[in-house]
Chain A
Amino acid sequence: MLNKHIDKPVSVLLMSIAVLCGLILLLVLSFLVKEAWPAINDGAWRSFLVDDAWYPLEGLFGISPMILASLAMTVGAILLALPLGVSSAIFLVFYAPAPVGSVYRLMLNLLAGIPSVIYGLWGLTKLVPLIVQWQAPGVSLLAAILVLTLMILPTVALTSAAALTAVPQELIAGAAALGLTRKSQILLVLIPAAKTGIISGVLLAVARALGETMAVLMVAGNVVQNPTSLFAPVRALTANIALEMAYATGTHRAGLFASGLLLTLLVLLLAWLASRLRSQAQRG
């Protein structure tokens, strides 16, 4: 009887909290739209794509080089982090002796917790000078890719490890019972079985890489230009907002908000894809 009385208020309370959380997302989005509206409304958004340069004070708002730079960094970082992360996960789940495994897992968790500015500091003082020895100026797309790789590696590794751990034991036994080698069991059966989990982890990592600002700002060089070379300094969309917000006014300011809106929508799209994938996998 007691439960029945408590049930109602508790469910109302939880429901309101849930609605509130949903509302916050809507609020953020509507705020972005409102602030970006001048740029969207007066047709400036077209110049976003058409203009070939970003000179906001002179009315040139071409953000495509920065979109391309952000995408190049993200794709590069994923290309590196995916094999590294999945290999780490395989080692962690199937090969590491228990004590080694738990230390390794702890390390990955710590790696995930390091503030991005620290990655930026390391990149700027250690990585960039190394790249300079190879090819100047050092601050470059490559530096950004390497720093981002380190930052998203734990996400890819830990979500992959979780996905591999969740593979049913009977699948492993089934693969072993067919006389498959350990290598084939893992590569041909377990990884495909964990595929959805791994991909949704990668999508989360992509979202993180796209949204990363500080570390990228510190090592990428921030020159607005198309990423034509790994050694070219480039500016990410996020870094652009952070660099210019302080003094932007009018259409310039609205343009920055519009690029923020674009980023947010991209990340939401990724999150939606990740959840769709997961539900697809559950349906089988």
Chain B
Amino acid sequence: MTLTSSINTRPYTLGSMNTGEPCCEPIAHLQVQNLSLAYGQKTVLDGVSLDIYKGCITALIGPSGCGKTSFLSALNRLTDLSASTRVRGSVLFDGEDLLSDKVDVLTLRRRIGMIFQKPNPFPLSIRRNLDLPLKEHGVNDRKIRAQKIETALRDVGLWDEVADRLDSSALALSGGQQQRLCIARALVLEPEILLMDEPCSALDPISSAVVEALIIRLRGQYTVVIVTHNLAQARRVANYAAFFWMKERVGKLIEFGQCQNLFEKPNHQLTAAYISGTQG
């Protein structure tokens, strides 16, 4: 996998605003340019441009309904599921616009995994939940699949909890275990990017902390884009933060930058108001 054609070492900074010192040499993994999204006649997101940096966690924050989840689902083309959704602009991934019709969506989704707000394990056994996507993507050797399944379950810290009941139903797991299983299910395909849509919001505080610790462990190995309403969580996990806001009923990207910088020295007064809790 080469990224040479799409490497852009200049961080996208929304003009000349100071976004703070980067944590590492930033390499753009995804370059979102002027992305707009509409459901039928209703525009929900307009003119979003930002880079998603490789190996970093980018948090998308902002009030409900400002298009964060829509933005996320454009990145793995899950927006294709609804015929009325129109996406404009471009998202460069590996030198190619992933929004183009020529892109093989199935391969794209293997490379860009997604975790949903509500844990959504398939109503199958724990093993089959991971086996199924592997088979689907052509891993035909049973032994290799078993190995990959174990690795993925170890990666999410679930192996010791479920090793003796891999063939029992995934639905019998607790909410937090289900969500970690879903993360394992995405990881088992060895994706490059993980999209997470409020992965902790449906979990109890303890499970939420376990999943959060897992997300932090993913940093460096995977590029993570995470939508969260929990600002404290965004501060704890993210390297970069993007703040979305509704302007005239349309979602806009207001500010993007180093996470700590965005929280401590926001450039925009809306950002300042939102993170201090006076608006949103």
A170 close to chain B: CB less than 8 A: yes
Cβ < 8 Å to B, chain A residues 155-211: 168, 170-181, 184, 188-189, 192-193, 195
Contact A173 B116, beta carbon cutoff 8 Å: yes
B124 close to chain A: CB less than 8 A: yes
Contact A172 B81, beta carbon cutoff 8 Å: yes
Contact A177 B109, beta carbon cutoff 8 Å: yes
Complex interface: chain A residues within 8 A of B186 (CB):
177-178
Known A-B contacts A184-B136, A189-B132; the reply to A176 vs B120 at CB < 8 A is no
Complex interface: chain B residues within 8 A of A170 (CB):
116, 118, 120
A177's contact among B76, B107, B132, B136, by CB below 8 Å, is which? B76
A22 close to chain B: CB less than 8 A: no
- Shortest CB-to-CB span from A194 to chain B, Å, is 9
Contact B106 A188, beta carbon cutoff 8 Å: no
Complex interface: chain B residues within 8 A of A174 (CB):
114, 116, 120, 122, 182
Complex interface: chain A residues within 8 A of B8 (CB):
none
Query: Complex: how many Å from CA A68 to CA B107?
Result: 52
A284 close to chain B: CB less than 8 A: yes
Known A-B contacts A176-B109, A188-B132; the reply to A284 vs B137 at CB < 8 A is no
B78 close to chain A: CB less than 8 A: yes
B151 close to chain A: CB less than 8 A: no
- Shortest CB-to-CB span from A229 to chain B, Å, is 41
B68 close to chain A: CB less than 8 A: no
Known A-B contacts A178-B109, A179-B110; the reply to A173 vs B133 at CB < 8 A is no
0/1 per residue, B143-179, Cβ < 8 Å to A? 0000000000000000000000000010110000000
Contact B189 A179, beta carbon cutoff 8 Å: yes
Contact B169 A284, beta carbon cutoff 8 Å: yes
B185 close to chain A: CB less than 8 A: yes
Known A-B contacts A177-B76, A284-B169, A284-B172; the reply to A193 vs B122 at CB < 8 A is yes
Q: Which residues of B contact A (CB under 8 A)?
A: 76, 78, 81, 105-110, 113-114, 116, 118, 120, 122-124, 132-133, 136-137, 169, 171-172, 182, 185-186, 189
Other A-B contacts than A170-B120, A177-B109, A179-B133, 18 sampled, CB-CB below 8 A, are A168-B120, A173-B114, A173-B116, A173-B120, A174-B114, A174-B120, A176-B109, A177-B114, A178-B110, A178-B186, A179-B106, A179-B110, A181-B136, A184-B136, A188-B136, A192-B123, A193-B122, A284-B171
Q: Which residues of A contact B (CB under 8 A)?
A: 168, 170-181, 184, 188-189, 192-193, 195, 284
A-B CB contact pairs (8 Å), 27 listed? A170-B116, A170-B120, A171-B120, A173-B114, A173-B120, A174-B120, A174-B122, A174-B182, A176-B81, A176-B109, A177-B76, A177-B78, A177-B116, A178-B109, A178-B113, A178-B185, A178-B189, A179-B106, A179-B107, A179-B108, A179-B110, A179-B136, A179-B137, A179-B189, A180-B132, A195-B123, A284-B172
